[in-house]
Structure 1
Amino acid sequence: MKLPKIDEVIIKTLKIKDLKILHLSDLHINKKTSSLVIKELVSKCNRTQCDFIVITGDIIDCKVKFIKEKLQLLNDLKQKTYYISGNHDLFYGFKELKEVLTNLICLDNSYEILKIKNQNIAIAGLSDRFSKFFKIKREEKKVVEFLKSCENSILLAHQPKDYTFALRCNAKLFLCGHTHGGQIFPFHYVVKLFQPFLNGIIYKNQTAIYVNRGLGCWGVDFRYKADSEISLLKLIPKEVK
């Protein structure tokens, strides 16, 4: 895993404003991942001014028992950090991952109300779409109904195709990952067969969508025309026509 510089991304949202979110995704930490790289990542995050951090799935890419000490380094993140499951997390052991990440907040099928800069902001998350194959109940209705009752809301999910739930509950911001931005061109076109969005900002109705290209790699440790990404999302008011 090679760390990129932090990209500042301006996102226009209704209601929510003056918020800074550090968005990470798809770390894919495995046996080959260097502890020094993770320490560098934590240090980079801790030096960045933001209101909170989100990690939108696929933190691990092997069984937790082989990388426990590396994962524990993430507990040194100083800012409040939320995360949700990705398909790889479920496959390699999400229960074990949660037991290690003692300083981070799991938002799978749950929610929280934040008070930031005189704004009440609801943040919620969905477990990955593969949850049912691991006998994990995905509580979509509970999350949607709660966010519907909140004026300012943010939804986290691993896969872009879950943006439909953000639209259902009028979430102002939907954050996800999973695609790696295609990782290796021209596989971008294959990803587009399965996901509605590849990377970057998309606006649908009242919802701003951001698809993070992620940090790690899947299959081969190589990227082409799909650089890795750490994003500092800066929310500004959207003009209402």
Structure 2
Amino acid sequence: MNFKNIFQTVEIDIENKKLNDLKILHLSDLHINKKTSTEKIAKLIKFCNDLEFDFCVITGDIIDTKVKFIKEQLSILSQLKNKVFYISGNHDLFYGLEDLKNELKNFIFMDNKIFTINHKNENIYIAGLPDRFSKFFKIQREEEIIENYLKQSPSIFISHQPKDYKIATKSNSNLFLCGHTHGGQIYPFHYFVKLVQPFLSGLFYRKNTAIYVNKGIGTWGVDFRYKAKAEITILKLISKTVE
């Protein structure tokens, strides 16, 4: 995979001037499995570490096999620079979230967690929730706590599935980042995804919240994409209220 061909910068209009010029590397749905070579992950990390960004967010589905089979790949992944925030996806839960957390100790795990980061001497509040499938793994989603935290300004909410956008809009969060859909992965499967998810891919605005759905890097089921190109994205936040 030529990572240059799937890289893009997306400018997001944001109301809160405290977020102006913030650059977020947004990755999602890597789906690292037994067939994922260490060379591919090393090239990915080299490419990402050459980019300029304030922090990275990985919105779920990092793995697609048991961790014991891909420890070397995850060791390379953990070399991503700057702060890296990540949340669980349904595949992470299925294949072993605790094992994944043990391999990614350099990263900041955000399921039911809150974190404050400083940007140009201003506090930015980040919060995350476990994937919606977590209930099947007896993991509680602390939605009310996260909603209350996101009411602080400015705030960023991260979760795996686009369905969680209502949590962001209800709490008036400035930005919601997610993945899960693969952009449909193979057309015309796009239409089936749209039946169960409110957004397929790209940038949307609801109320005061900007929503970005990342199509991800990896694939699921069949290692093939059609009319749903993989992506590595730098999100550049721009506030029009800045004088």
TM-score when scaled to structure 1?
Answer: 0.97
5 Å matches for 1:39-118? Answer: 39-118=42-121
**CA distance in structure 2 between the partners assigned to 1:136 and 1:96 by the alignment:** 15
Maintained 8 Å contact 1:156/1:176: yes
Q: 2:108 is aligned with what amino acid?
A: I
CA distance in 1, matches of 2:2, 2:141: 33
The CA distance in 1 between the partners of 2:131 and 2:221, in whole Å, is 20
Aligned residues: 239
Aligned partner of residue 7 in structure 1, secondary structure: strand
Code of the residue aligned with 2:182 in structure 1: it is H
* Paired amino acid for 2:225: R
1:74-107 CA-partner distances (Å, limit 9, x unpaired): 1211211000000000000001000000111101
8 Å contact kept, 1:2–1:37: no
Superposition deviation, residue 130 in structure 1:
0.4
2:235 is equivalent to residue 233 of structure 1: yes
Report how far residue 235 of structure 1 moved: 0.3
Q: 1:146 Cα deviation (Å)?
A: 1.1
| Secondary structure of residue in 2 paired with 1:85 | coil
Q: What is the rounded CA distance, in whole Å, between the counterparts of 1:5 and 1:117 in structure 2?
A: 30
In the other structure, the counterpart of 1:11 is 12
C-alpha contact (below 8 Å) 2:26/2:234 kept by paired residues: yes
Give how far 1:124 is off: 0.7
1:20 pairs with one of 18, 23, 34:
23
Question: 8 Å contact 1:2–1:215 — kept in the other structure?
Answer: no
Residue type at the aligned position of 2:209: T
Q: Is the 8 A contact 1:10 1:233 kept in 2?
A: yes
Q: Per-residue deviation at 1:239?
A: 5.6
Asked if structure 2 preserves the Cα contact closer than 8 Å seen for 1:160 and 1:197, the reply is: yes
Deviation at 1:72, TM superposition (A): 1.1
Give the partner amino acid of 1:222: F
- The letter of the residue matching 2:15 is L
Summarize deviations over 1:199-218 as a string: whole Å, max 9, x none: 00000010000000000000
Name 1:35's counterpart in structure 2: 38
Alignment map for 1:99-138 (pairs within 5 Å) = 99-138=102-141
Distance 2:45 2:106 in 1: 13
1:180, distance to aligned residue in structure 2 (A): 0.2
Question: In structure 1, what is the equivalent of residue 222 of structure 2?
Answer: 220
Structure-2 separation of matches of 1:104 and 1:64:
16
Q: CA deviation at 1:64?
A: 0.6
What secondary structure is seen at the aligned counterpart in 2 of 1:76? Answer: coil
- Paired with 1:204 and 1:119, the residues of 2 have a C-alpha distance of 25
Distance 1:238 1:143 in 2: 27
- The 1:5/1:185 distance shift into structure 2, 3 A limit, reads closer
Give the counterpart of 2:150 among 147, 152, 155: 147
Match of residue 166 from structure 1: 168
| Contact in 2 for aligned 1:144/1:168 (Cα 8 Å) | yes
**TM-score, structure 2 length as denominator?**
0.96
Residue 205 of structure 1, aligned match among 204, 207, 216? 207
Distance 1:221 1:35 in 2: 17
Aligned to 2:158: 156
Superposed, which structure 2 residues align to 1:181-200 within 5 Å?
A: 181-200=183-202
Using a 3 Å threshold, how does the CA distance of structure 1 residues 133 and 122 change in structure 2: closer, same or farther? Answer: same
Unaligned runs of 5+ in 1: none
User: For 1:145-197, what per-residue CA distance to the aligned partner results, in whole angstroms no more than 9, with x for missing partners?
Assistant: 1111x110000000001000001111100000000000000000000000000
